[in-house]
Structure 1
Amino acid sequence: MKISVKETQSVLATPQKYHGMLFYGDDIGLISERTKALAQKVSEADSFRLVTLGNDEISRLAEEYGALSFFGGRRVIVLREVADTVLEPLKTVLEVTPAEDLEAPLILMEGGGLTSKSRLRKYAESSSKIAAIGCYPPTGQEISDWVKRELSQRKVKLTHDAEIWLATHMEGDRALLRSEIEKFCLYADLETPLDREDLEKITGDTASADMGEAIQWALAGNYPKADAAFRRALSEGQNPIAYARVVLYQLRRLEAARENVEKGMSVAQAVAGVRPPVFWRDRDKFALSVRNWSLEGLRKAGKATLQLEKACKQNGPPAELLAWRHLAWLSRKHT
């Protein structure tokens, strides 16, 4: 059964109504948090009632599903990184389980890489025995509100400027955001609110004024942020030829990820497979770029960037102006 955002908290509070739960989406941290919390709740933190299986251990599902709980209580089976290969073993155990048998083991599935075309996800969304719950990263004001709530629970205060900074600079899934929150708490003086400068120091955001930052925002379609970062980069003495080379590097990485999406991977899987890995604070921008750009558009951008590099080395318009025009062009979505 597909669970809406409004229904999610109610469903998580009543796991006894289901034989399985599938967590899917791009927020791997939230998927992990929900799985862990439910596993602990249903098993009552009894390690004898909890088993975890990797995707390569799915052949053990029927055996574990039929195992008895020595001291009573409902058992929990956690399936990590599930794919469509889980579908048939899952159907085998669930279809012989009566709907009214609420003592049967609860199967918790972590399916961060499942797309809407996944057979497993479609089955879960249509089955009355399974709750299919989407887990996606918060954005913008949602991030700010969530981080402020977490900090408030720890008695950490923020100035107004710091709150504004949070809404425009914090990105990533909940696991990554929690790691930042922990750093804020370690740094904080409970008597004095953290200000914007404190947050910048803690997160290392003072290094964001470089060409890479400008290019990432441009490829993600956000020209105002790209322009601001580009101005800062030029003020620090970075040159347009370096800009062109960084663009080419970033386009190659996007092209590799986009090719995997065309082959059937989810955007989250494609981004996770990029090597060297995408820095965690850049993952959302990178994922948005993968979604926005087609292979043809990326290749067209590569050719235009090679021409830019040649033009910057010749006599003619100032190289800074050429790069600025190119940055604005990149900021438009090319499909």
Structure 2
Amino acid sequence: MAQKKAGEVDAFLSRPDTSFPVVLVYGPDTGLVSERAARVASLSDVDPADPFASVVLMADELEKSIGRLFDEARTVSMFGGRRLIRIKGAGNGKALAEAVTELAADPPADAVIVIEAGELRKNAPLRVGVERGRAAMALPCYPDEQRGLDKLIDEELAAAGTSIDRAGRDALKARLGGDRLASRGEVQKLCLYAHGQGAITQADVLAVVGDVSSETVEEAVDAALAGEARRLPHLVERLQASGVSSYQIQGPLQRQFQQLLSMRQEMDAQGSSAADIVARRRVHFSRAPAMTRALQSWTVEALARSLARIEADILKSRKEAALQQVITYRLLLELSVEAARSRAR
């Protein structure tokens, strides 16, 4: 089967095997998917700015007119040489999966096809078609582990001609890892801040690099719980700018609603106040006000319905990878509106 394990992808890209003209890059870390897909595209030696040799197609558009993919794949470059076809936003579309399966089994001459997808289950048709194709390779992308973070940091430090002490590196790694492109951007920002001063220190890291993604996720989840609908658009913008993936929001959101349901059931059974329940559960002081307001707003029945909705939307976002962010952000907004309406009653 033509696939690599997550830990083998970097090694494969450093010594690429050009016998695989169809490459699927997939995973929940959208920044890492984008970065590695760009690397694969660069290995084709095709100028991405040349409109006669390179084309970018969106998966949802191809679902409506899959014939265009075959037209592009079989077209001979006007000035000779290879052609590059990049497909973005792939997921569980049936037409695209069938077309890619066909191209993976019988690839076009002098064409490289790079497909970017979100998280794909093991039995997803697109993933299965690529893994079984004789001329295709599947490259999974998952959030950076510690070794991957060290490599990323070293690359950017070398490019900036600087270094970092041990305490600074540990502090930096603790604030990175949510998304490859966002992490790289934070390290680049740090290098620029410390330009000309020699080694980067822990103080530099604390002054410049904040754990923005996790803090904003918590704020967005709390805003949805407490019915603070007016704050959410700004928080969503920050999440998008930080490169936070949908699964990083969905998990905390689901867990918070599960915790809130348990707390509300305890509150009703014992006749306690919302503040007493929050204090008893030792909720962190920064989140206590939002949880108290949420307990006062939501009923057990409403929380149960919302949990079912969250689970359904998580499943839907797995099936519609290209719409993951839209589904997740809409879910946050609608939950916050429901909470606000409940509090107003």
What TM-score do the two structures reach when normalised by structure 1? 0.65
Cα distance change of structure 1 residues 248 and 159 upon mapping to structure 2, 3 Å threshold: closer
Cα distance in 1 for residues equivalent to 2:41 and 2:151: 27
Which residue of 1 is the match for residue 87 of structure 2? 79
Kept in 1: contact 2:6–2:141 (CA 8 A): no
Deviation of residue 138 (structure 1)? 0.7
Deviation of residue 88 (structure 1)? 1.8
Which residue of 1 is the match for residue 261 of structure 2? 300
Aligned positions of 1:17-96 closer than 5 A = 17-45=19-47, 47=50, 48-58=52-62, 59=66, 60-85=68-93, 86-96=96-106
Instruction: Count the aligned residue pairs.
Output: 271
Cα distance change of structure 1 residues 5 and 286 upon mapping to structure 2, 3 Å threshold: closer
Kept in 2: contact 1:155–1:190 (CA 8 A): no
Which residue of 1 is the match for residue 273 of structure 2? 311
Deviations 1:119-176 (A, max 9, x none): 1112212222210010112134542453134213321222332112123222321110
Which residue of 2 is the match for residue 239 of structure 1? none
Which residue of 1 is the match for residue 127 of structure 2? 121
Cα distance in 2 for residues equivalent to 1:309 and 1:214: 33
Cα distance in 1 for residues equivalent to 2:274 and 2:101: 61
- Letter paired with 1:88: E
Kept in 1: contact 2:24–2:137 (CA 8 A): yes
Cα distance change of structure 1 residues 134 and 292 upon mapping to structure 2, 3 Å threshold: farther
Cα distance change of structure 1 residues 179 and 51 upon mapping to structure 2, 3 Å threshold: same
- Letter paired with 2:32: L
Moved more, 68-77 or 296-305: 296-305
Cα distance change of structure 1 residues 285 and 304 upon mapping to structure 2, 3 Å threshold: farther
Cα distance in 2 for residues equivalent to 1:320 and 1:93: 57
Kept in 2: contact 1:248–1:305 (CA 8 A): no
- Letter paired with 2:24: L
Cα distance in 2 for residues equivalent to 1:117 and 1:188: 47
Which residue of 1 is the match for residue 207 of structure 2? 201
Cα distance in 2 for residues equivalent to 1:201 and 1:325: 27
Cα distance change of structure 1 residues 251 and 305 upon mapping to structure 2, 3 Å threshold: farther
Aligned positions of 1:250-329 closer than 5 A = 276=236, 279=239, 283=244, 287=248, 290=251, 297-298=258-259, 300-301=261-262, 303=264, 311=273, 313=275, 321-324=279-282
Cα distance change of structure 1 residues 303 and 190 upon mapping to structure 2, 3 Å threshold: same
Cα distance in 1 for residues equivalent to 2:88 and 2:208: 33
Match of 1:3, SS state, is coil
Cα distance change of structure 1 residues 74 and 311 upon mapping to structure 2, 3 Å threshold: same
- Letter paired with 1:16: T
Cα distance in 1 for residues equivalent to 2:272 and 2:216: 21
1:165 aligns with 2:171: yes
- Letter paired with 2:98: E
Contiguous gaps of at least 5 residues in structure 2: 228-234, 286-290, 292-345
Cα distance in 2 for residues equivalent to 1:302 and 1:246: 20
Cα distance in 1 for residues equivalent to 2:262 and 2:245: 21
Deviations 1:105-125 (A, max 9, x none): 111000124333421112212
Aligned positions of 1:115-194 closer than 5 A = 115-140=121-146, 142-194=148-200
Task: Determine what percentage of the aligned residue pairs are the same residue.
Answer: 22
Match of 1:37, SS state, is helix
Match of 1:18, SS state, is coil
Kept in 2: contact 1:144–1:170 (CA 8 A): no
Deviation of residue 19 (structure 1)? 2.6
Kept in 2: contact 1:114–1:121 (CA 8 A): yes
Cα distance in 2 for residues equivalent to 1:57 and 1:187: 42
Match of 2:85, SS state, is strand
Moved more, 120-129 or 190-199: 190-199
Contiguous gaps of at least 5 residues in structure 1: 217-244, 254-274, 331-335
- Letter paired with 1:297: Q
The CA RMSD over aligned residues, in Å, is 4.3
Which residue of 1 is the match for residue 323 of structure 2? none
Cα distance change of structure 1 residues 147 and 64 upon mapping to structure 2, 3 Å threshold: same
Kept in 2: contact 1:18–1:131 (CA 8 A): yes
Deviation of residue 288 (structure 1)? 7.8
- Letter paired with 1:54: M
